[in-house]
Amino acid sequence: MATSVASQLVKLRKEREALEKREKALQTRTHTRAIEKILAIAKDAGLSAADISAAMGGGKKKSAKTKVAGAVKKAGPRGKVAPKYKNPADATQTWTGRGKSPVWVQALKSAGTLDSALI
């Protein structure tokens, strides 16, 4: 007797659900055992939940010692920066000194007179 594709799919889905349920139960048991071991070690060492939380990065303030070397700080919103240079030929053109320099700044740099454009 041949089984249809639909019935085979139903059977496979049920097997997958059963396997996922077994996987979740195994993870729960494993996690429970690990937490019990961690709690026992912490209790023996006299550590509180706050100590463990702070060590895991849950504390409010990180000291310079706990920061990872070479970590890049995420850029947050920045305020406006005041212009540092003004085009001597056109006072409406300014540049903050950050980012790609405008053509007029490049011309002043090549002439060696960029300092004359300081505001």
pLDDT single digits (tens) 26-70: 999 999 999 999 989 999 999 888 888 888 887 555 555 556 666
Contact 91, 104 (CB under 8 A): no
Contact 84, 96 (CB under 8 A): yes
CA pair distance 111, 12, nearest whole angstrom: 76
pLDDT-derived band at 112, boundaries 50, 70, 90: confident
Residue 86's DSSP bridge partners are 94
Q: Which string of b and e fits 12-35 if b means at least 16 CB within 10 Å? A: eeeeeeeeeeeeeeeeeeeeeeee
Q: Would you give the end-to-end CA distance of the chain in angstroms?
A: 91
Q: Where are the domains of the chain?
A: 7-55, 85-117
> Could you tell me which of 65, 69, 66, 118 has the C-alpha nearest to residue 96?
118
Between 9-13, 39-43, 78-82, the lowest mean confidence (pLDDT) is in: 78-82
Given this model, what pLDDT does residue 52 score? Answer: 85
Would you say the pTM of this structure is higher than 0.75? no
Model confidence at 1: pLDDT above 80:
no
Tokens 């060696």 correspond to: 112
How does DSSP classify residue 92? T
What pLDDT, in 10s, does the model give residues 82-100? Answer: 999 999 888 899 999 888 9
